[in-house]
A and B are shown apart, each in its own frame.
Chain A
Amino acid sequence: MSDRRIGVYICHCGGNISDYVDVERVREAVQNEPGVVVARTAMFTCSDATQQEIVQDIKERNLDGLVVASCSPKLHLFTFRNAARRAGLNPYQYTQVNIREQCSWTHTDDRDGATEKAIRLIRAGIARTILTEPLEPIIIDTVPKVLVAGGGIAGLRAAIGMADIGISVFLIEKSPAVGGWIGRLEKMYPHGRNGRQLIDKLVDEVKKRENITLFTNAELVEKSGNIGDFNVKIRVSGQGDKKDDITANVGSIIIATGFDSYQPGAGEYGYGIDGVITLPEFKELLDSSDGIPARNGKAIKDVVYIYCVGSRQQPDRENPNLYCSRYCCNAAVHASLLLAEKNPKSHQYHLFRDVRTYGRYELLYSQSREAGSTYLRFGEDDPPAVERCSGGKIKVTVKDLLTFGEEVEIKADIVVLVTGMVPRKNGELVDVLKLPVGRDRFFNEIHPKLRPVETVVDGVFICGACQGPKNSAESVASALAAVTQSASILKKGYVELDPLMASVNPQLCDWCDECVKVCPYSAIEKGEEQGKEVARINKTGCKGCGGCVPVCPREAIDLKGYTDAQIKSMIDGFLKETF
């Protein structure tokens, strides 16, 4: 038996859990576990009302342990740690049990199996909690400086934002000039603003600020340290093979390295045929022509756009891009308006799958139709065929679903492949920062709604199109979100780290130095305890990996929060018979 006083809260998650797990049965099964004083279910444990209830229970019933069984700890670990703290309970005496991602959602096909599993998971969580002790977080002073990687619109705006809050910025751009994709554009949607000028203005603002240091031809090559106190090495390429390494100390890192445009394969919708071009190529052509846009000396009159090239690909392809690239419907519709303006005699045909000119961009779509654009819809399993034909024209054949599958043939001067966004190849950056990459291979945030610019690497933030397709307004909005998140840490002056640390039981240790040999952080040294030589953990050096734990021949080392006793009691909890 246990003399602990533990509260257990089991979440319905509005059905995300309770549709697949019998939550009430789970509660009944765990309420009499040793140490459990109160066991409740809640529609949403993360709601203010339930948090309040938890706080009240802790206070009124004098709880000394808390178990929340809901979603992945990636979402609400801090929510419930804070609730515990508010109630006066040490936050490290709380355990999060994941019964959503790792239970209800994986076993939507087996209600009994999922219910039994949830019971086992929670029992292990209770067993672990019984053996928790109050721990204090490690406090680290933060360095009031930031590294921003990527000098597109997102990175430039983030740099200015940080500088204005009073935080010094190192802004690094891989290419010889800042600006990213926007720096190459003339008229942009929705307001017709000139992209190049927009970037020039931002660069002026950067130059005005003494606390921004900009490096071009520069890349991040090394990172060590922790949130609040990173050491980074920036490699700046000079003329020829000359390379300079600059080291800097920063408190946080903002990644704004942008995207690449999808490059169609040879023969994909006729790519390779003269006159079949991508959207960026077409935009450049429009931007660079003063009068009527022409190709090979001939005015461009008949244009076919093929949408969703490189986006929303069929799942049976190799490494398909399943996502919608968001910006391209708007950009293509906008480009057609520019052409209509420059050549009112042009005929433009948009072969689309779905027109996603969301929000106010719908107005652009209406304008383009008023300006004479024709929209034809093709099915994903019946894409248009593109062939070369006589007289320098290109023949496009499509079955138009809007006219019940009528086959339409168009002879075009150019065919514009409306290409989507793809993740930029940035393997080295991913390696250096251990950046998490999502299913679509863009950088991944912790949670798209609740923590949209934070990553699982503490102190590293992402923004702009490196985390997924975004237009410029959306990129800047996320850049400013990253500024706020990052500055809120740096301005506070310190961060709290989990007290993840190894500890040595001096009674068991007889200083054989096996642990010293395996610690790459030199965090273990020889100490003395009652006249006996023992290993001692250096608090600031220890990273809490636990690598020394299994090598100790005397089983004298434990990782706090993951002790030998805790793991074994969790195993017992997992295995206890259920119903």
Chain B
Amino acid sequence: MTGQAGGDKGFSPKILVFSTHNISDPGIDLAGSSHMHYPPTVLVTSMPCSSGIKPEWILYAVEKGFDGVFLATDGEECAYLPDCAERTSHIAREAQELLRQKGYEPQRVRMSGICSVCAEPFTNHMKEFSEALKKLGPVRKE
């Protein structure tokens, strides 16, 4: 259904979000409790810390049909790792490199620090990313 329409108006990009239990997930929950809207093709999965995301998972997600992957990182607030933001940027860059090697646009990976009350920033990120991915077109072109 969604995501298969091949670049026409009906295309709504599938976005996988990696969030974290204690920092970004409460922010994303707050967007919901405040009834803020972003596209329902955004799917969130949550981990203890964004430094634990494997670049290979991001490639896997894109190969399997996600049009974009967003890393909602802990930034300075991470309770585990003081250099969490740098580690996650490194992971994002590696993932972009993997995508490039396989012929996918590196712009399909984005990251941003999302804090526990960042409901509005998260919503805006999702809307903007979704628009940007619409311009890129679906990851599966056929």
Q: Mark A96-120, 1 if CB is under 8 A from B, else 0.
A: 0010111111111110011011001
Q: How many A-B residue pairs have CB under 8 A?
A: 143
Given A547-B87, A555-B56, are A117 and B41 also a contact pair (CB < 8 Å)?
Answer: yes
Which of A378-386, A430-438, A472-480 is near enough to bind chain B? A430-438
Contact check, B29 vs A575: say whether CB atoms are below 8 A apart: no
**Chain A residues with Cβ under 8 A from B21's Cβ?**
73
Cα A578 to Cα B65 in complex, Å, equals: 14
Residue B109 interfacial (CB < 8 Å): no
Taking a contact as CB atoms closer than 8 A, the residue among A103, A113, A518, A544 that contacts B39 in the complex is A113
- Measured CB to CB, the nearest residue on chain B to A107 is B40
Number of interface residues of A (CB under 8 A): 54
Q: Mark A540-579, 1 if CB is under 8 A from B, else 0.
A: 0001111101100001000100101001101110110111
Residue A162 interfacial (CB < 8 Å): no
Find residues 394-416 in chain A having any chain B CB closer than 8 Å to their own CB. none
**Chain A residues with Cβ under 8 A from B1's Cβ?**
116, 577-579
Given A101-B28, A108-B35, A116-B40, are A571 and B48 also a contact pair (CB < 8 Å)?
Answer: no
Residue A503 interfacial (CB < 8 Å): no
Q: Mark B1-21, 1 if CB is under 8 A from A, else 0.
A: 110000000000010100001
- Measured CB to CB, the nearest residue on chain B to A104 is B32
Cα A543 to Cα B44 in complex, Å, equals: 23
Contact check, B52 vs A562: say whether CB atoms are below 8 A apart: yes
Given A457-B79, A575-B65, are A113 and B48 also a contact pair (CB < 8 Å)?
Answer: no
Contact check, A559 vs B48: say whether CB atoms are below 8 A apart: yes
Given A436-B116, A544-B48, A577-B1, are A121 and B56 also a contact pair (CB < 8 Å)?
Answer: no
Q: Mark B42-58, 1 if CB is under 8 A from A, else 0.
A: 01110111011111110
Taking a contact as CB atoms closer than 8 A, the residue among A104, A116, A456 that contacts B116 in the complex is A456
Find residues 65-96 in chain B having any chain A CB closer than 8 Å to their own CB. 65-66, 77, 79-82, 87, 91, 94
Closest Cβ–Cβ distance, residue A359 to chain B (whole Å):
27
- Measured CB to CB, the nearest residue on chain A to B40 is A113
Given A108-B37, A456-B116, are A568 and B47 also a contact pair (CB < 8 Å)?
Answer: no
- Measured CB to CB, the nearest residue on chain A to B39 is A113
| Apart from A545-B51, A550-B54, A578-B1: 10 A-B pairs, beta carbons within 8 A | A72-B25, A101-B28, A101-B32, A102-B28, A102-B29, A103-B32, A114-B40, A437-B116, A546-B48, A550-B53
Q: Nearest 6 CB-CB pairs, A to B?
A: A546-B52, A113-B40, A101-B32, A545-B80, A105-B32, A101-B29
